[in-house]
Amino acid sequence: MKRFAALIDRLVYTRSRNTKLALIADYLQHTPDPDRGWAIAALTESLDFPAVKSAMVRTLLATRVDEELFRLSRHFVGDTAETAALLWPDAPGPKDDLSVAAAVDALASASRSDAPAVVASLLDRLDADGRYALLKLALGGMRVGVSARLAKQAFAQAFDVPVDDVEELWHAIPPPYAPLFAWGEGRAERPDLKHVAFFRPFMLAHPLEEESVDLADYAAEWKWDGIRVQIVHGGGETRIYSRGGEEISGAFPELVAAFDQDAVIDGELLVRGEAQGGQAASFNALQQRLGRKTVSKKMLADYPAFVRVYDLLGLDGNDLRGLPWTERRRQLEAFVPRLADSHFDLSQLIEAKDWDDLAERRAGARDAAIEGVMLKRRDAPYVAGRRAGLWYKWKRDPLTADCVMMYAQRGNGRRASFYSDYTFGCWNDAGELLPVGKAYSGFTDEELKWLDKFVRDHTLGRFGPVREVEKSLVLEVAFDSIHASKRHKSGLAMRFPRIARIRRDKPAEEADRIATLLAMVS
C-alpha cells in the first residue's frame, strides 16, 4: 500500500498529463501482480465494494473519534475519506506493508455486518497516507484525474505495446488483469477474445477543411447528433459501449434485448421524438437517457431509443474491420434487415453529384438530429482512432469546438446561487489545457442545475468566487467566429461563445486541440 499511496499522492499534485502517464507507467513496471492490477482498477474507479460505503466509514470513525470533532474536521477538509484518514488514531507499533491485493481481498469478502471490523483492522495497519489510499480505494472518488483512457495509455507506454490492443483487451479481462500484464511483459500470447463481448476502439474522423479531398473517393453519410455506440454480441451476451469504452448496457436494456445477432455494429444512438413524428429527436431529448445505471418504464416509453447503424465490424464470428468500407457497407446493408426495425435502422448515404450539391444538401438539412455530413473513404478499412485521409466530419454551421470545463463562477441575480459562467479550454501540443473562452448561456434550466451540481461535486480549488473543477467535462461550445488575441494565453478569442451541449459521453482527452481552433481563425 506504501507504493500505491505514494503514487496517489504524486497524482493528486500533478497537473501535467505527460507526468501522470510517466508516474503510472513507472508504477506498473515496478509493482508485482496482482497489486498493480488492483491499483490501476482503483485509479480508474473500476472497483466496487458494496459493503463499504462512506456512511459506514463515518459510523466506524465515531467509535474512535468524537463525532463533533469529526463533523468540524469534515467541514474543514471537505472530503470524508481524507478526514477519516487523518483522524484515525495511529495504532501503536511498527506498520507492516499491507499489500493492495490483501486489502482488496479483505474488502471484497466483507459482509455488511463485519465490514466495520474489517476496515478498522486494515486502517490500524497503515499510516495516514496509507489510510487515505485505502479509503479512496474502498469508497471510490479518487479524483486524481486518471481516466480509463489515460490508464490504458500508461499501460501501453509502460510495456511498449500498441494502445489500440490495450483498448481491446482491457474490457475483456477483469481486474487485476494478470493475462494483460503477462502479455504486456512478453511472457504470454495475446489473450484470446473469441468468446468475449469485448470493446473495439472506435474509428474517428478529422474535421474537414474546405473541399480538401476528391469527393469521388468518399462516400457521404449524415452525421447524426446522438451518441456513438458500439453494440457487441459475443460469448452469449450483448454489451453496449460508449465512445470512451465505458459500458452503458444498463441504461439501454431495450437495445440489449433487441440485438439478437452474433455481430458487432457501430452506430448512433438516438431517441424518437413525438415532435419529429417518431423520427430522431434532438440531443436534448437523448440526454434524458444518459448517465443512468438503470432505467424506469416511463423513461423507456417517453424516450424510446434506437440505433442508426453506420458500420459492421464483425459478423458470425468474423472480424470485418480489415475489409474496405465498400465491402463492409455491402454486408451491412444485407445485415440490417436481420435486426428489429423498431430499434435499428440503416444510416442512409447521401448521393451528391459534387461539392456544391453536397454543400447545398448539408445546408438544407433541417432535421434536428443532423449534425453534419460524414465523408468516409471507400477503400479504407476500419481502424482505431483518427487517421489522416480516411474519415472526415463536416459539421453544420455555426462553428463548434469540444472544450473542457476548467473554472466556474457564480452568476448574478436569478443565477446568484448557480455556477453558471464557465471557462473552458482546449489542449495544446504539450498536453496542457489552455483556456479558450468563457460562456454563460446556451443551456436549459435543467442543464444549468446539472452543471451547477457538477461544479460543486468536482471542485478542486477555490479562488474567491471562482472554482476550479476537475478537468473531465466536455462542453460543446458554439461560436460565431474565432480570432487571434494577445490577451489570452491560448492566443485565441471566441465571438459569442455559448454552450451548445454537454458532452457527458466524451472523454476530456478527446476534446479539441488548440491547433484545431487556430485552423478556424477568420
Rounded CA separation 428/513 (Å): 6
Q: How far is the CB of 78 from other proteins (least distance, A)?
A: 6
Q: How far apart are CA 275 and CA 7, in angstroms?
A: 52
Q: Give the residues lining the site for other proteins (CB under 8 A).
A: 12-15, 65-66, 68-69, 72-73, 76-79, 82-83, 86-87, 128, 132, 460-463, 468
Nearer to other proteins, 187 or 486 (CB): 486
What is the spatial distance between Cα 91 and Cα 272, in angstroms, rounded to a whole number? 59
Nearer to other proteins, 62 or 515 (CB): 62
Give the span between the Cα atoms of 433 and 38, in whole angstroms. 29
For residues 36 and 136, which CB has a smaller minimum distance to other proteins in the complex?
Answer: 136
User: C-beta of 151: minimal distance to other proteins in Å?
Assistant: 21
Given the complex with other proteins, which of 76 and 522 has the nearer CB atom? 76
Catalytic residue among 20, 136, 152, 223: 223
* Residues 6+ away with beta carbon under 8 Å from 286: 226, 227, 269, 270, 271, 303, 305
The four Cα atoms 319, 323, 325, 326 give a dihedral, to 10 degrees, of: -120
If the CB atoms of residues 65 and 182 are measured against other proteins, the closer one turns out to be 65
What's the rounded Cα separation, in Å, for the pair 445 and 59?
Answer: 37
Return d(Cα 485, Cα 497) in angstroms, integer.
15
The size of the chain, in residues, is 522
CA dist 486 and 313 (Å) reads 47
Secondary structure (3-state) at 228: strand
Q: How far apart are CA 392 and CA 19, in angstroms?
A: 32
Amino acid present at 290? L
- The minimum distance between CB 464 and other proteins, in angstroms, equals 12
| DSSP letters for 238-249 | EEEEETTS-B-G
Identify whether the C-beta of residue 441 lies closer than 8 Å to the C-beta of residue 498. yes
Q: Grid coordinates 484525474 are at which residue? A: 145
The answer to whether 183 and 37 are in contact (CB under 8 A) is no
Minimum Å gap between C-beta 37 and other proteins is 25
- Give the nearer residue to other proteins in terms of CB position, either 4 or 224: 4
CA angle 138, 142, 148 (to 5 degrees): 105
For the bound state, the minimum distance from the C-beta of residue 66 to other proteins, rounded and expressed in Å, comes to 6
Is 471 among the catalytic positions?
Answer: no
Q: Smallest gap, in angstroms, from Cβ of residue 87 to other proteins?
A: 6
Q: Which residues are catalytic?
A: 223
